Every structure is written in C-alpha cells, then in structure tokens.
Structure 1
Amino acid sequence: MLLIKEVMTMKISINIIEKVMRNHVVLKNIRDDADMTIDTYEVYDPNHAAFKENCLYLLRPEGLTDSEGFPDGLNLVCSGKPDGFDIEKYQHINLLIIEGITPEKNMNLIISIFHRYNSFDERLNSLILENAPLQEIIDLATQMVEMPINILDLNHKVLAISSEMDAPDDPIWKSLKLGYMSEYYENILNTSPTMGDIIRAKGNSIEITSSISGHHVQISLLRSGGRPIAYFGMHKFYETQKPFEKHTLQLYEYLFRKINRNAGQYFAIKADRGLLYEEFLHNLFDQKFKDSDEIDVFLLKLGFNPGVSYQMGLISFRDSDVKADLYFTMMDFLEKLIPDSKCIAMDLFIYIIIPIDGNEYLSDENQKILAEFLGIHHCLCVLSPPFESFLNLHKFKPMFAAVLGFIKNQGRGDRLYHFYEFADLYSMKLLADEMPGKRMVHPMIQKLIDYDAEHHSDYLETLKVYLRNESSISVTASLLHMHRNSLQYRINRIEQLLERNFDDWQLREQLLFQLTYLEYQAVFSEK
C-alpha cells in the first residue's frame, strides 16, 4: 500500500478534523485529553506498526479489527464502518468513522485540512515577522478560529477587532466596534471577568458568560516581561449561551500563545505607567538605593520634585473580587482628580504619591476628593506621615501592612485613614515583635490577672476603667454601674493587694501602657 506522509509546522487536533468532516462522521470517540498534537498523516500499513503520537492514520474498515493493537491516544480516521463494529472497544483512542465519501475523497479532504491550517500558520508567521498591524493579525486569526476576536488595552480601549465578522445581538461587541468602552467609564466598571479572575484561571484564560450581554466569551491576558499589557478575547456568535466547542478553544489558545510570545513588539510600556515606576518603588521598598542622590535621579526622571514634601497613600479594595483590570483606568482618573499626584500599581494595591507643598498634611479639599473616589470604588486608603526623603520610604511598607490588619480587626468602614490614628497600635506591634508574650507584663498587672483568675473577680477591668478616666470615682462608678462607695472600697482593696496607691502619675502611666499592650496582644497579635 502507498505510504503518504506530510509534515507541517502547526499542529492540529482530532477535534479540528472532526469539525471539518462533521457531515461525514457517523461514529466517533474523542478522548478528553485530545489536543493539538498532530503534524503528520499516513495511510495505515499493518506491516509497519511503529505508531507515532503526532500522526493521523487513515485506514479502511478491514484495518479496524483488533482494538488492542492500537496504543492509547492514537488518532485514526476510518473510511467506513466494519460489520459488527463496537466503538466501546475503542475508548482508548481517538477515532472517526467516515461514510458517504470514497477513501480517495477522504484522503483529499484530510490533505486540504492540513494545507488550510499550514497556510494559516505561514501567513500568521509572516505578518508577525513583518511587524504587520494588529488589525491584519486579528483578521487572519478570525478566519482561522471562525469566531469574532478582539484585542483591548487594559483600559478596554479597542486596539484591533474583527472587521469581517460580528457577534450579532451582543451589546458589548457592538460597543467595542463603536469605541464605546473607551469613552464610558461607568460601563467599564460593570464588566466582567476581572483581571483577578483571569490570573487565577488555568493558563491565564477564562471562559465566562458576559455580565452584560449574557453571551459566552473567552478572555486571556497578553503579557510582556511577565506584566499584563492587553486583553485577547473571543465572542461566541451562534448558540451564544452555550460554551465554545473544543476545536474552537484549541485554535484560540494556539493563536493566543503565538501572539503572546510576540506581544513585546506590539505593546509599548509607557514610562509613567509601567515597569520603570514599579521597579523604582520595589527598589525603594527593598532598600536597593545607596543614597539620596541616586534616588533624586529617578525622581526627576519620573516627574517628582525632590524639594517638596509628600504623602503616600496605599489604596486597598474592600471587595476581594476587585476588578484589578481597571487599575490603569482608575490611576489615570485619580491623577486628573488630584493634580501632580503619581499612581503606581503593585501587589494588587494602588500607591499614590501626593505633593503637599509646605502643608503639614494633605489639604482638606484633596482629602474630600480622595474620599469620594474611595466611596465610588468601594476601597480604602491609608495615608502615610508626610515625608521629604524617599530614602526611608521602605519603612512605610510594613507600616501599611500592619494598619490594614488593624482596620480589618476593628471592623471599621471608613474610607480614608491617617497613620497617626494607629501610631500607638503600631508601636505596640513593634514592641510585641521584639518582646512577645509575658515578658512585657508589669508585675502588678500580672498579680491582678492571677487574683481575678483565682477569685473570679474583675479587679483588672475596674483598674483599667479607673485609670482611663483620670482616677475619677464618679465617672468610673457610672461606667461600671456601681455605687461610689462600693467602687471606692474596691479601689482600696486593689491598692492593698498591690501595696501601692495610684497618686503617683508615673505609675498610672506605666499601668495604662501595660493595659493597652495587653489589649493589643488579645486583639491584634498573630495566633
């Protein structure tokens, strides 16, 4: 029997072959793990049984007699169904049974499939090599995958969209064609999936039902240097509420990988919104700069004025499902709201650096603007102390992390926070990190703790309220719902137990500090 073989650059799958030959397929078994692995085809010769994984074998019905003779995952197309054929015996291979065409026409059809995708691949490689416009690449990709495709930047601005194919009755596709998404900020806020959804998905691609259109879409993140730079997406234009077929997803993933490998030549990263800023902030936090002069060079390059005072804000999103893909849009918006500010996205936070120009703190007007922004986007901001030197900026990173923990534990719902609100707690944290456990507990406090445990009393709570209210018997009695005489008797008992009285203001300060430290240990210390 004549042996026919052809090699091609692009690999295809049994799913793609089944899709093209669908009108002639009468029986099939395609394994779940079938993928784009086929790059050759041969007429099956029973006298040469050295099967190859990457080959599609064509055979007549008489060759399909011994199921055990075919290794797992082999790809077969058979021109006709053998008598008494039981496809259940062939669940370990990928098999298509073809009827209605002659073996010769079947062969020609297989050859045309290989030539079709080989031609697509050659044209795509040529366009990439020539640095052709994205629009030409997207139009070719549309022909290849037979679905409408687009590329958007991280602000949802359309960079290229299928010009020969539409997704009918899809309002998102229509708005993309009109450039709507780049102009209407509110519509962007309501879209899904988020960048976080895509990052968490296998392979940085996600298939989802659009939150606006209700149609199935596939969206992937294009990256350059490991950093997200654009979206690559596909819309379903028929049976829109059903998932994409496997052959469509296979071709889409192939195109995505091909374009992603060459993304650097199509997407320039702006200096004011990209790796230069992120690298600068990382280096500051990691203390990689040697002196202020080295930092000043970068500050001038990035548009900062080394001669003024600044505050840094960390913006954190209360919603764990934050639309992280909107960071760049939001940062642009923030910089317009607060003139001369600079925003940087890093570690799923937005850092904003704001000049305060001689003011001790951010102006009331800018605080109001920032608070309104935080309310719209359901996020919070922690403002650092004012600073002039960027050399010590690394100290703010652990400070921000601690304050976010304090806010979470306290269950507060404010929008804008200042570090000075948490300075006492932060000092407690630093102390607890250095001297954990009972090493810091004042012996008088410990004596009251032990006494309360043994006698089921609440002397420690009484002392805490008494000291925090400037040793006022009347105020303390009211807060504890006790008679003045009963409280005075209890205070006298505590002084006798501790063998000290509380007239000494230094002792009062020490005990108050210790009580606050114990509260910190109970609420904020890591367990």
Structure 2
Amino acid sequence: MGEDRMEKDPFKRMFGSLEELVDQIRGVLECPVTIEDVNHRLLAYSTHDDQTDTARIATIISRKVPEKVINRLWKERVIPQLMQSGEPLRIPKIKEIGLGNRVAISIRNHNEVLGYIWAVEEESALTENKLKLLKLAAQSARTELLKLNAQKKKRVEGYQDFFWELLTGHFQDHKKIKERFEDLNIKPPSPFAVLAFQFKEEITPKIEQKIIYLITTSQKINITFYAAMENEFIILAAPPEPALSEKIFIEFIQFFIDQMKTRFNIRHISGATGTIYDRYEKVESSYQEALKVLRLKEQFTEEIQHVYSYQQLGIFRYLEVILEKKRKEPYEHPAIEKLIKYDTEHRTNLLATLEAFIDHDSNVSDTAKKLHVHMNTLNYRLKRITDIGKVDLKNTNTKLSLYLELKIRRMEKKSPHL
C-alpha cells in the first residue's frame, strides 16, 4: 500500500475471527501485530519475520505478556497512558526486556478498555496515515472483543456458583468435587489455599476490574477462582510449583496490597491466606482461616500487623476459644485487678506499661521507645508493677499468662458479642 494513500476503512466488514482481523491489520500496516485482552492475555497474532524481538516471541509462546514486560510498561507509564486515551501511542525500544519499537492502541467501548493492539515497528516507523488506520482497526476489534467478553461472562458466572459452593462447604466429598472440576473443564488446583482481601469500602465494578487486572497479570500464583462480595475479594489459588510453601502466597498478598496502592491509588487493604490443603473439601476451612486472620488483624493492629497466614498467628489462633471458656468460667487475673484499681485511683498507666513490656519480649530499651519514656522511668514503673501486682516479671509462665489475659481482655472489649 502506498505511503500516502489512505483507504476509507479497510476494516469495515465482518470478520470470521480475531485471527482474520489481525491478518488484515498486518496486511494494511505492513508490520507484525498482536491483539490482547485487557489483562494482557494474547487473543490473536499475525506472522512475523525471523528478526522479531524476544518479548513478542515470549508472549506468543506463553499466550500472555511476560510479567516483567508488564511491570516495566507500568513503570514507564505506558499502560496508564493507554488506559486513559484511545489514541495510538509510540513506545521506544526497551532493550532490557527484549521489547522493540512499538505502536499500541487501546480497544475501547466508550470509556471501558477491552484490550490492546500492538504493532511492531520494524525497519521504519508507521506513517500518520497508518496510525489513522490503526485507530480504525481498534474500532473493528471492539465488536469482536465485546462478543468474547459476553461468552466469558457466562463462563465466569458458572464458575463462581461452584466456587461459592466450595467456600460454604456445600460439597464434602473429594472425589465428587474433582469430578465437578472436570465437568467445568478446569484443572483442579493441588495443593491450594484460599486468600481473602478486605477493602475499606465496598468493591465497585470499576475496582473489581482493577483487582482482576492485577491478579491476572502478576503470574506469581496460579488462580483458579475469584469472587467479590461487598468489601471482600476471595481467591482460590495454587503455588506455581506444588513443593512451594505458604511463603509464595504471603509474598503475593504483600505484592497485591503494594501494587493496588502504587498503580491504582487504592489503599487500606488487608490480606490473609488460610492453610494450604490438597483435599478439596477443605476449601471452606482454608477460607474460614483466612477470615479469622483478617478479623484478628483488625483487633490487634500492632501485634500482628505483619501476619498474613493462619499458621503465622501462633497463640492468637486460640484467643477466641480461651475467651469463650472465660465467659463460661469468669476469672480475672489478680495482678491485673490490682493494677486496674491502682491506675484508676492514682491516674497512672501501669497496666498499659506491663502490656507494652511483655509485647516487646521484656526488652527495656524497645519498650521505653514505644512508650516515649526514659529507661529510668520505665524501670521505676516495672518495680511498681512488681510490688503492686505481686508478679515475677522474670518468670516465663507468669508473663505468658498475663499476656493472654491482657489480649483476651482487649478482644472482649472490641468484640463483646463474640
């Protein structure tokens, strides 16, 4: 096609598939082309010569854009620009990730991004006329992607029904659950865990799209199902390799919280993972464990702020059980009663000092910094605590019992109906 010749619209016709459309775009623009969905999964690609770059080859082989490429394009503000505009965007070569010169454009339905077209600029840059043709190609691709999205929505709705049945313990037979996976043509995850994220506000469709984008493009864990409910987002996932421990899930939770803030300015997210299991009837157990971690993190913001898994909870796992027993058999630790009485009468804070001291593993320096007092002041308070409460702060059993009593007391105040 001549450099300055502009056809009316070479894409204004029916295409039998995205493959036909991508070949037409390749013929019109005279360069290799790919079409991706909004989460950077490869939908169709054209032919290319032997000199094409490694990023394109890796995308075609794995059927999705490599995570390192996506992360770099975010860092270079490429993807945010594509999300905000429907105009073609020229991307210079990024040698470190194997990306050659590109021109990209978002495929849009009004303000919603459905996907992207990427054109590789090989020997020469696309002319202004070809950039206009690329815009026409994006309009044509819109129709095809809307069809695909409608089909995908039906599948996802069917998957989510099954996911909620697993989360609520509807199935209790491992074999039957496995058969259901096979009926839906889904590879059963093994081992697996349920991850739960709690947002400050209700998850809107717009926020859900951003969440799905992030979990789909991260490629750190294998996600089988996901679902949103009010301010909660739940994932059923498997590690990339069966031998990997829960560490991979914890790293994903930290990554998710950080990137939701960095990329989308969505803050105040709490995340947790339940235990890893290989029996599918344990999905509900893993889910409830993740919820318990979130619930306790909300109650004990300082003590377990860096806890992300049920296993990491340690003794906090048993606080609810101990609290329930205490309600049936009321008991108050004598030392705590004495300190409460003394604090009330003398307007002191010896009980808070005791809790901080035990929280910091009896480290005087760390406790003093936490309380913003001089170490001499702290030592004086500790002597008063010992004298008034009649406790031995060098005795491990004594400190452990006080620690549990103090945490249960705080839990009872925050959850009076637990």
TM-score by length of 1: 0.43
Call closer, same or farther: CA 1:264–1:252 in 2, change over 3 Å.
same
Residue equivalent to 2:350: 459
Equivalent residue letter for 1:281: F
Instruction: Give the alignment's Cα RMSD to 1 decimal.
Output: 6.6
- 2:81 & 2:297 partners in 1: Cα distance? 24
Pairs within 5 Å for 1:218-237:
218-220=105-107, 231-235=115-119
Alignment counterpart, residue 175 of structure 1, candidates 53, 78, 86: 53
Instruction: Say whether 1:492 aligns with 2:398.
Output: no
Contact preservation (8 Å) 1:139, 1:161: yes
What are the Cα deviations for residues 6-55 of structure 1, in whole angstroms up to 9, with x where unaligned? Answer: xxxxxxxxxxxxx999xxxxxxxxxxxxxxxxxxxxxxxxxxxxxxxxxx
Equivalent residue letter for 1:351: L
Equivalent residue letter for 1:327: T
Alignment counterpart, residue 138 of structure 1, candidates 15, 18, 22: 22
What are the Cα deviations for residues 336-387 of structure 1, in whole angstroms up to 9, with x where unaligned? Answer: xxxxxx7445567753247xxxxxxx99x5329x549949x95699552365
Alignment counterpart, residue 352 of structure 1, candidates 218, 222, 237: 237
Gaps of 5+ in 1: 1-18, 22-112, 167-172, 223-227, 336-341, 355-361, 433-439
What are the Cα deviations for residues 67-104 of structure 1, in whole angstroms up to 9, with x where unaligned? Answer: xxxxxxxxxxxxxxxxxxxxxxxxxxxxxxxxxxxxxx
Contact preservation (8 Å) 1:148, 1:236: yes
Contact preservation (8 Å) 1:459, 1:494: no
1:262 match: secondary structure: helix
What are the Cα deviations for residues 57-76 of structure 1, in whole angstroms up to 9, with x where unaligned? Answer: xxxxxxxxxxxxxxxxxxxx
- 2:89 & 2:24 partners in 1: Cα distance? 24
1:151, distance to aligned residue in structure 2 (A): 1.3
Instruction: Say whether 1:395 aligns with 2:280.
Output: no
Call closer, same or farther: CA 1:148–1:477 in 2, change over 3 Å.
closer
Residue equivalent to 1:366: 244
1:298, distance to aligned residue in structure 2 (A): 1.9
What are the Cα deviations for residues 438-497 of structure 1, in whole angstroms up to 9, with x where unaligned? Answer: xx9999858845754764533214544788899x9xx999988569998555533346xx
Alignment counterpart, residue 407 of structure 2, candidates 516, 519, 524: 516
Equivalent residue letter for 2:166: L
Contact preservation (8 Å) 2:272, 2:294: no
Instruction: Say whether 1:255 aligns with 2:147.
Output: no
- 1:180 & 1:310 partners in 2: Cα distance? 27
Pairs within 5 Å for 1:30-429:
116-117=8-9, 120-121=11-12, 124-125=13-14, 127=15, 131=16, 133-141=17-25, 149-152=33-36, 157=42, 159-161=44-46, 174-175=52-53, 179-183=57-61, 185=66, 187-193=68-74, 201=83, 210=91, 212=94, 216-220=103-107, 231-235=115-119, 251-263=136-148, 278-285=160-167, 287=168, 289=170, 292=173, 295=177, 297-298=179-180, 301=183, 302=186, 304=188, 312=193, 314=195, 324=213, 327=216, 330=219, 343-344=224-225, 351-353=236-238, 366-367=244-245, 371=248, 374=251, 378=255, 383-385=273-275, 388=279, 389-390=281-282, 392-393=284-285, 394-396=287-289, 398-399=291-292, 401-402=294-295, 418-422=309-313, 424-425=315-316
Which structure has more helix as a fraction of its residues?
2
Contact preservation (8 Å) 2:31, 2:119: yes
1:256, distance to aligned residue in structure 2 (A): 3.1
Contact preservation (8 Å) 1:442, 1:514: yes
Residue equivalent to 1:91: none
Contact preservation (8 Å) 1:385, 1:420: yes
Contact preservation (8 Å) 1:138, 1:150: yes
1:314, distance to aligned residue in structure 2 (A): 3.0
Contact preservation (8 Å) 1:198, 1:220: no
Contact preservation (8 Å) 1:477, 1:487: no
Call closer, same or farther: CA 1:520–1:142 in 2, change over 3 Å.
farther
Contact preservation (8 Å) 1:344, 1:352: yes
- 2:188 & 2:58 partners in 1: Cα distance? 34
Equivalent residue letter for 2:22: I
Higher relative contact order at CA 8 Å, sep ≥6: structure 1 or structure 2? 2
TM-score by length of 2: 0.51
- 2:164 & 2:117 partners in 1: Cα distance? 31
Gaps of 5+ in 2: 95-99, 198-206, 258-270, 324-330, 369-374
Call closer, same or farther: CA 1:442–1:219 in 2, change over 3 Å.
farther
Call closer, same or farther: CA 1:232–1:396 in 2, change over 3 Å.
same
- 2:356 & 2:102 partners in 1: Cα distance? 61
- 1:423 & 1:276 partners in 2: Cα distance? 37
2:348 match: secondary structure: coil
1:515, distance to aligned residue in structure 2 (A): 1.7
Call closer, same or farther: CA 1:517–1:136 in 2, change over 3 Å.
same
- 2:398 & 2:249 partners in 1: Cα distance? 45
2:35 match: secondary structure: strand
Equivalent residue letter for 1:151: I
1:419, distance to aligned residue in structure 2 (A): 0.8
Contact preservation (8 Å) 1:157, 1:182: yes
Question: Which structure: larger Rg?
Answer: 1
Contact preservation (8 Å) 1:152, 1:232: yes
Call closer, same or farther: CA 1:345–1:406 in 2, change over 3 Å.
farther
Call closer, same or farther: CA 1:516–1:413 in 2, change over 3 Å.
closer
Contact preservation (8 Å) 1:315, 1:351: no
Residue equivalent to 1:52: none
- Give the % identical residues: 12
